[in-house]
Amino acid sequence: NAGVTQTPKFQVLKTGQSMTLQCAQDMNHEYMSWYRQDPGMGLRLIHYSVGAGITDQGEVPNGYNVSRSTTEDFPLRLLSAAPSQTSVYFCASNRERSSYNEQFFGPGTRLTVL
């Protein structure tokens, strides 16, 4: 049981490039989410999904796209990277959509946009 996995661990992009951050969970969790972590700002919710085929925006969705074609995977796409997107990105999953349940976090992806 690997839990929540994220790839890559580190990535450097040039402004305007696109890329996809991968997230997968093997716990059959219904709810998945993406956060970004910036110094002094804690974690901010980017997008979340309450099940396959269902996604919604969080607090800071601009510049990011998501899709949820399977229960296991929840990739985050940057269509045209900007320096403001330099951050550490965390994927998380819940057993079900209620925030009663513990969120399990992946190890993070550190992204630098030059």
Partner 1 sequence: AQSVTQPDIHITVSEGASLELRCNYSYGATPYLFWYVQSPGQGLQLLLKYFSGDTLVQGIKGFEAEFKRSQSSFNLRKPSVHWSDAAEYFCAVGARSNTGKLIFGQGTTLQVKP
What residue ranges bind partner 1 (CB under 8 A)? 4, 31, 33, 35, 40-45, 48, 50, 58, 90, 92, 94, 96-103, 105-108
Q: In angstroms, what is the minimal distance from the CB of 44 to partner 1?
A: 7
Question: Least separation, in Å, of the C-beta of 15 and partner 1?
Answer: 26
Closer CB to partner 1, 14 or 42, in the complex: 42
| 28 class by beta-carbon count within 10 Å (0-12 exposed, 13-18 middle, 19+ buried) | exposed
Residue 85 or 94 with smaller CB distance to partner 1: 94
Quick one: residue 84, left, alpha or beta (phi over 0 = left, psi -120 to 50 = alpha)?
alpha
Q: How far apart are CA 52 and CA 38, in angstroms?
A: 28
Q: How far is the CB of 28 from partner 1 (least distance, A)?
A: 15
Choose between 72 and 105: whose C-beta lies nearer to partner 1. 105
CB of 48 to partner 1, least distance (A): 6
* DSSP calls for 15-35: TT--EEEEEEESS--SEEEEE
First to last CA, the chain: 36
